[in-house]
Amino acid sequence: MKIRRILVLPAIATLVGCAGLTPPPADKLAALPVIAYPAVPPTGDFVYKLPAGQPIALRIRADGSALAGNVEQTVTASLAHDLYLHKRWASEDGRNWQAADKLIGIDLGVTLPSYETPGPGDIHLTVDRKAGH
């Protein structure tokens, strides 16, 4: 049994509505504090930076009424390039901004053991830089 879902970065997940189709002015974003992962962001507006090479914790969770118990595990991954995030906007240099889903594509595939695939299940996360970057 194969389940495929396209997921988005948490910063992209808030993309709803048509408001704000252009990024805020670069000078406005340049004036905001830059908070690098894993630091906890302050209250107020900020730019969140995921530094290249920095291990990023990814929590994997499985739960639901079909399972005998909930499962949680943490793995780490790191990005090949810096990634700056501000609300629905993303940048690799902190100066040139675009809609986050135009810069990074995320796909999550889940395969459960089944008649067709009797081996172990598989969780496959693909994070791609979009063309032209």
Tokens of 104: 């990074």
Q: How far is CA 70 from CA 63, 110, 114, in A?
A: 5, 17, 20
Tens digits of residue pLDDT in 30-70:
999 999 999 999 899 999 999 999 999 999 999 999 999 99
Least confident of 7-11, 23-27, 41-45, 77-81: 7-11
Summary count for the chain: helices (H), strands (E) = 3, 10
Provide the pLDDT for residue 13.
Answer: 44
% of the chain residues with pLDDT over 90 = 77
* Average pLDDT across the chain, whole number: 86
